């Protein structure tokens, strides 16, 4: 017979309310807690002083790219799948740049 582990409190699974640095795993824990009904979206927003839009953005990034999608330092890699046409067009150098290289 195997010993039973004590039940884990939902509070232990969530990051502390005063969290300032959000790692991808902490964001994923909050998303999992809301989706499993351990805490409501309203409670999450109040507890972590965040907007519902920010939570939706985390969920969207998680759904599209998993935990790596929650990284802020690599967000640009996941955000754009192509370069917009306006950025692809070559812009002639400004006069200041042209004078510098004469």
pLDDT digits (tens, 9 = 90+) for 72-83: 765 555 555 555
CB-side neighbour CA atoms (13 Å) of 92: 3
Which candidate, 69, 63, 54, places its Cα nearest to that of 32? 63
Mean pLDDT score, 27-54: 95
Q: Where are the domains of the chain?
A: 22-81
Percent of the chain whose pLDDT exceeds 90: 52
| Cα–Cα distance, 70 to 64 (Å, whole number) | 10
Q: Largest alpha-carbon pair distance within the chain?
A: 84
Assigned CATH for 22-81: 1.10.10.10
Statement: residue 39 has pLDDT above 60: yes
Residue 13 is predicted with a pLDDT of 80
Average pLDDT, the chain: 77
């Amino acid at each position: 017979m195997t010993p039973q582990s004590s039940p884990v409190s939902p509070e232990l699974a969530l990051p502390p309310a005063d969290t300032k640095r959000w790692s991808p795993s902490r964001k994923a824990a909050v998303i999992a807690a809301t989706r499993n009904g351990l805490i409501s979206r309203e409670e999450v927003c109040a507890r972590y002083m965040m907007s519902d839009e920010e939570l939706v953005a985390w969920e969207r990034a998680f759904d599209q790219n998993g935990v790596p999608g929650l990284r802020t330092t690599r967000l640009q890699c996941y955000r754009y799948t192509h370069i917009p046409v306006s950025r692809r067009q070559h812009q002639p150098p400004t006069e200041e740049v042209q004078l510098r290289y004469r």
